Structure 1
């Protein structure tokens, strides 16, 4: 089982090849979307020093929603451009930096 959470397109390609080698049918798009979600959750867990809150897609590839421990919505995160996947393909480091900035702001204001 691959535990790699891609942070750039090279890692997306690596994960795609790994999944295909294991007989899992997937796409580059699906891996990017999961990478955005997983990176957001990792950032959130780090900001809270544990897995207390959850990140989910509000609208896939368009906005993330963050829920606190009581399952109350505490914030949303949107991409810089039209879609997270497009931003990730163009500049994955900026996507992760932006996720980090937005999520930390939400945590600090909750």
Structure 2
């Protein structure tokens, strides 16, 4: 996933620098929040062999909606926010999201 979807703080910093060089001012937290959503969406798409479900933020949680716009899963951060979780241990967040995607999609 790398710079397209940063998976660790080093890649987040590289993404921020790249965006800044293109005139976009984005905070580290904004990059992490978008990365967490994008990672979960990528795992869901991979498990479904295509983009059928949609991942969205609902307050501090990630929610997966199916084609009928019904909620199929809700994923909460381990601490207060996914941003804090990512900063503490990005790999644990990735594993949590991968597991959540498998559970949400695997039952169908």
Shift of 1:52: 0.6
1:63 alignment counterpart: 61
Q: Secondary structure at the match of 1:57?
A: strand
**Which runs of at least 4 in structure 1 moved beyond 3 Å after TM superposition?**
none
Match of 2:92 among 75, 82, 94: 94
1:16 alignment counterpart: 16
RMSD: 1.0
TM-score by length of 2: 0.94
How many residues are matched?
106
In structure 1, list runs of 5 or more residues that go unmatched: none
Q: How does 1:6-45 map to 2 (within 5 A)?
A: 6-45=6-45
